[in-house]
Amino acid sequence: MSVVNSRTLQIQRPDISQIHNQKISHVRKCCNNQLSVLTPSRSFKSFLELRSLGFSMPLKPNFHCGSSRFLVSRCESQKFSDSLEPDHDQNYVTDSSQMVEQKKASIVDMLEQSNSLLPHIVLASTLVALVHPPSFTWFTTRYYAPALGFLMFAVGINSSEKDFLEAFNRPAAILAGYVGQFVVKPILGYLFGIISVSVFGLPTPIGAGIMLVSCVSGAQLSNYATFLTDPPMAPLSIVMTSMSTATAVFVTPLLSLLLIGKRLPVDVKGMVSSIMQIVIAPIAAGLLLNRLFPQISDVIRPFLPPLSVLVTACCVGAPLAINVDSVMSPFGVTIVSLIIAFHLSAFVVGYYFTGFVFHKAFDLKALQRTLSYETGTIFVFNSVVLLWIILF
């Protein structure tokens, strides 16, 4: 018994062996403001040595830890509870700006991945055009040129001048695309024209119309299709289509004379105007915007894929909706079936023709897809004009 600060307290000898076995270093944290001498084991020894020498240890009046056994159990329980709680010494502050950036990135990724929905959207637009034609009849032929120009603008803003310069370093591929459009496709058109008359009993003008369609140059939709599947090949596809369209002024009349024995006139002025409006001007605008105002390009670029998908759906659904009566007739179903078979054959032949010629190319699959699109698509404006001339 000893008197400390006018109070009588009974100090119980701590169990040193138990404290050593527990190896409690957490005691300081538990009772730092209550018993400063009860920290490591050396403190307990000093305390006992002082007591044995007869020194009275002054204790604070607010000491309520009780016995050492109670102190140890109390500190052990607090140590266990602290392990379940976060360490407040660390920084657990959530960065709200980082969460916002992640959310924006996910939205941008979703917009950019909308190109993968193109086949489903095209199929849906075809069905809607046949079931409910007014959904697309508003999209008349006057919107075709701006729509295709928008697709070319989307390709241009995702490309650079270097990409187009590198495309000219592959003259063999450009020549192969030219052969696919003006050799392979006309041969297939001639065969399907003969089949339509001799096998299906269609009128001769229908067979001649199929032959004329096969003489038309490639379409800009092939460039967009290449951009969706193989973006690095898009400039090469654009070069192929532009060159074939420019030379179609001379090649298409010669092919029509060779296949049907009649030389049809081609609107040179209209063709040049179409090339400028649909190909050159939009792509140049995209390239300039990408070079001079890259920040603006970065802002609008994520929105181009979904808009391009919608524009493509309109370009596919509108012709079907406008001519739904002719297409759904027995006569029209036969013609449409032949046209679809002709295009599918051109795609397949163009694909395997490229594989045979460029079997050692490092990007063979991408090149095969690119030339397949070039072979199987046609320039819709010229084909419509030629069909109008031959049928009416």
Where are the chain's structural domains? 2-79, 117-391
Mean pLDDT calculated for residue range 72-96: 48
**What is the three-class DSSP state of 139?**
coil
Interatomic CA distance for residues 196 and 200, integer angstroms: 5
Mean pLDDT calculated for residue range 243-258: 82
Interatomic CA distance for residues 131 and 117, integer angstroms: 21
pLDDT (0 to 100) of residue 173 = 92
| Beta-carbon contacts of residue 252 (< 8 Å; ≥ 6 apart) | 215, 216, 217, 264, 266, 382, 386
Number of other residues whose CB lies within 10 A of the CB of residue 41 = 16
Scanning the structure block, which residue is given the tokens 């939205």?
107
Interatomic CA distance for residues 66 and 162, integer angstroms: 82
- pLDDT, averaged across the chain: 73
Confidence of residue 269 (pLDDT cuts 50, 70, 90): confident
Six-digit token string for 329: 């007739």
Q: What are 4-45's pLDDT values in tens digits?
A: 444 444 444 555 555 444 544 444 444 444 444 444 444 444
Q: Which amino acid is at 226?
A: T
| Beta-carbon contacts of residue 271 (< 8 Å; ≥ 6 apart) | 245, 248, 249, 382
Confidence of residue 285 (pLDDT cuts 50, 70, 90): very high
Q: What are 49-69's pLDDT values in tens digits?
A: 444 444 444 444 444 444 444
- Region 117-391: CATH code: 1.20.1530.20
Report the range out of 71-75, 117-121, 321-325 with the highest average pLDDT: 321-325
Residue 93 region by backbone torsions, left for phi larger than 0, else alpha for psi between -120 and 50, else beta? beta
Contact 303, 153 (CB under 8 A): no
Res. 143: pLDDT tops 60? yes
Contact 379, 245 (CB under 8 A): yes
Six-digit token string for 191: 């065969």
Six-digit token string for 194: 């003969």
Q: What are 218-242's pLDDT values in tens digits?
A: 777 788 888 888 888 988 998 888 8
CA distances for 103 relative to 92, 94, 149, angstroms: 20, 15, 32
Res. 99: pLDDT tops 80? no
pLDDT (0 to 100) of residue 39 = 42
